C-alpha cells in the first residue's frame, strides 16, 4: 500500500537564483528570463561550473541575481569577454546575458564574430525594442513608428533605419549551431522559451558551438504601457516583426 505524502514541494526558488530583490521595474520580464536561466542551470546541475557575463543596460546588475561566478563586461563586449573566459576554461559553462542596445547596436561586431568563430557559448538576448536603463531611447530593435525619448515622433525609417533581426542574421553564420527566438508574453511561450534556453545550454555542454536565444520582452515603464497590456503589445506588435522560430538548429 503506497502512502500519499501530506506535503509536496511544487515550487521553489532555483538554487542558481539569489535570494535578493531585483531592481527591475514592475511588469518587466527580465525577472522571468532570469528565473528560466536559473531553472535550466539547476536542472543541468551546472551551477558550480558556470560563469556568467553581464552586459551594460538594465541587466547590468544581473550578477547580483544569479548564484554563479560572474563578470561585468563593457557595453557590447560580453561576447569578447566570454570568448576570453571560455578559451582558457573550456570545461566551464559560459553564458552572456545581453539586451538589444548592448548586443545589436554597440556590440554587433562582437556577437557576429563570436558566432562566426563558433565560440562554444550560450547567449541570452533580451529584445524589448528600447534602451531601458538610460530611460527609453530608440534601440536598433525599435519598431518603425514606435515613439521613444530619442524618436519622439516615432521611429522614422527614412532617417533612423529599420529594426534589426538578430536571429535571422546570425543563422546565416556557419559557426552558429542553435539560433532561436521565443517570447515571454504568456505562460505557453514562457514554457517554450525555457526549452530553448535549455537546448542552448545543452549545446554548449555537448561542445556544439555558438547558441543564442532571443527573448521578446516587455518594458512597461519605457513603453508607457501598463504591464498586462505590455504583454499583449509584444504579441500584437513585436511578434509580426520578430517571428518566433528556430532559425538554426544543427544536430551534431
Partner 1 sequence: MTKELLKGNVAIAEAAVRAGVEAYFGYPITPQTELLEHMSKRMPELGRAFVQAESEVAAINMVYGAASTGKRVMTSSSSPGVSLMQEGLSYIAGSEVPSVIVDVMRGGPGLGNIAPSQSDYFQMVKMAGHGDYKQIVLAPATVQEAIDLTLLAFDLAEKYRTIATVLLDGNIGQLMEPAELPPMRELRQTPPDWAVSGAKGRKKNIISSIHLQPEELETFNHKLQAKLKLIAANEVRYKEYMIEGAELIVVGFGTAGRVAQTAVKLARAQGIPVGLLRPITLWPFPEERLSQLADEARGFLVVEMNAGQMIDDVKIAVAGQCPVEFYGRTGGVVPLPDEVLATIAKLDQATLPANRVAALNG
Q: Is 205 in the site for partner 1 (CB under 8 A)?
A: no
Q: Is 123 in the site for partner 1 (CB under 8 A)?
A: no
Scanning 48-56, 190-198, 207-215, 234-242 for contacts with partner 1 by CB under 8 A, the matching segment is: 48-56
Residue 24 Cβ, how far from partner 1 at the closest point, in Å? Answer: 15
Neighbours of 44 (CB within 10 A): 17
Residue 177 Cβ, how far from partner 1 at the closest point, in Å? Answer: 19
Which residues contact residue 200 at a Cβ distance below 8 angstroms, ignoring those fewer than 6 apart?
A: 122, 123, 124, 178, 180, 211, 212, 213
Residue 155 Cβ, how far from partner 1 at the closest point, in Å? Answer: 27
What is the rounded CA–CA span in Å between residue 247 and residue 252? 16
According to CB under 8 A, which one of 38, 58, 82, 164 is a site residue for partner 1? 82
Q: Is 147 in the site for partner 1 (CB under 8 A)?
A: no
Residues that bind partner 1 (CB under 8 A): 47-51, 53-54, 60-61, 63, 66-74, 77, 80-85, 87-89, 92, 109-110, 112-113, 117
Amino acid at each position: 500500500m503506497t502512502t500519499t505524502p501530506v506535503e509536496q514541494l511544487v515550487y521553489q526558488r532555483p538554487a542558481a537564483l539569489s535570494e535578493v530583490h531585483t531592481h527591475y521595474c514592475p511588469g518587466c520580464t527580465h525577472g522571468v528570463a532570469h528565473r528560466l536561466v536559473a531553472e535550466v542551470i539547476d536542472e543541468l546541475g551546472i551551477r558550480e561550473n558556470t560563469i556568467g557575463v553581464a552586459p551594460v543596460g538594465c541587466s547590468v546588475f544581473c550578477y547580483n541575481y544569479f548564484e554563479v561566478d560572474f563578470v561585468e563586461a563593457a557595453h557590447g563586449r560580453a561576447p569578447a569577454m566570454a570568448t576570453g573566459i571560455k578559451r582558457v576554461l573550456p570545461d566551464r559553462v559560459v553564458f552572456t546575458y545581453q539586451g538589444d542596445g548592448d548586443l545589436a547596436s554597440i556590440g554587433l561586431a562582437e556577437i557576429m564574430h563570436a558566432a562566426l568563430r563558433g565560440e562554444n557559448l550560450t547567449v541570452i538576448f533580451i529584445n524589448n525594442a528600447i534602451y531601458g536603463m538610460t530611460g527609453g531611447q530608440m534601440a536598433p530593435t525599435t519598431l518603425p513608428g514606435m515613439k521613444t525619448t530619442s524618436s519622439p515622433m516615432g521611429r522614422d525609417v527614412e532617417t533612423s533605419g529599420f529594426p534589426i533581426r538578430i536571429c535571422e542574421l546570425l543563422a546565416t553564420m556557419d559557426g552558429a549551431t542553435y539560433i532561436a527566438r521565443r517570447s515571454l508574453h504568456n505562460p505557453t511561450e514562457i514554457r517554450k522559451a525555457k526549452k530553448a534556453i535549455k537546448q542552448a545550454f545543452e549545446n554548449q555542454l555537448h561542445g556544439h558551438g555558438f547558441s543564442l536565444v532571443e527573448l521578446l520582452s516587455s518594458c512597461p515603464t519605457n513603453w508607457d504601457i501598463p504591464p498586462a497590456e505590455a504583454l499583449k503589445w509584444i504579441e500584437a506588435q513585436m511578434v509580426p516583426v520578430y517571428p518566433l522560430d528556430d532559425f538554426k538548429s544543427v544536430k551534431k
